[in-house]
Amino acid sequence: MIFRNQDNVSSFSSVDGEEKLIKDAILGEASAFGRLYDCYQPRIYRFILVKVDRSEEAEDLTHQVFLKAWQNIADYKHRGFPFSSWLYRIARNQVIDYYRTKKAETDLEQVDKEFSAGPAAAYLKFEKNWDLERVWKALKQLEPAHQEVIVMRFIDDLSIKETAAAIQKSQGAVKLLQFRALNKLREIINS
């Protein structure tokens, strides 16, 4: 398995390379954790940004995710799922905590326009006549579980297995969520 370098950051040449970095990070090597951070930070940031809409809040939450990961790296156990699934689970819980404590509504106008103009088009393979703003607005109308699956599968290019581990559902449930999410997205955009 080769880790994708879609964000122009460090990538790992093999699973063994990532596993060594994880082991070194568990032993307290900050530079090893730094390499993991460099690789996964852009993905986690995008995932959170879709959930909170504001780049400043997404940056803060992303920082908190990696702080928690660093604080708990000694407890990390490889259970057949990629390290990224563990990070996405932390991110998902961080977003849930954010909304529990804040209970704030965000305005779509506050969304980072550079984000909405780039990655969504590159990774979501929709008809050419759909403009990005319509896709972005439609994505925001989906229920949270559907948003998560769309972002993980089509923006961050995670596999079904990786997505299932991150959201703690079966692979079959992820496939069903993806199917329903794409249908709902098409329905919203075509209305």
Quick check: 153 and 163 in contact, CB under 8 A? yes
Kindly state whether residue 4 falls inside one of the protein's structural domains.
no
Kindly state whether residue 1 falls inside one of the protein's structural domains.
no
- pLDDT at residue 16, rounded to an integer: 61
**Percent of the chain at pLDDT exceeding 90:** 29
pTM: 0.62
Kindly state whether residue 3 falls inside one of the protein's structural domains.
no
- pLDDT at residue 156, rounded to an integer: 79
| Total number of domains in the chain | 1
Per-residue pLDDT averaged across 165-169, rounded? 88
Q: For 38-52, what is each residue's pLDDT tens digit?
A: 999 999 999 898 888
Kindly state whether residue 64 falls inside one of the protein's structural domains.
yes
Q: For 57-76, what is each residue's pLDDT tens digit?
A: 999 999 999 999 999 999 88
Q: Which structural domain range is residue 26 located in?
A: 15-190
Per-residue pLDDT averaged across 108-119, rounded? 42
CA dihedral of 25, 163, 7, 40, whole degrees rounded to 10: -20
Q: For 87-97, what is each residue's pLDDT tens digit?
A: 999 999 999 88
Structure tokens given for 147: 């948003």
Which domain CATH number covers 68?
Answer: 1.10.1740.10
- pLDDT at residue 1, rounded to an integer: 29
Kindly state whether residue 164 falls inside one of the protein's structural domains.
yes
Q: For 30-40, what is each residue's pLDDT tens digit?
A: 999 999 999 99
Grade residue 114 by pLDDT with cuts at 50, 70 and 90.
Answer: very low
CA dihedral of 94, 166, 56, 64, whole degrees rounded to 10: 50
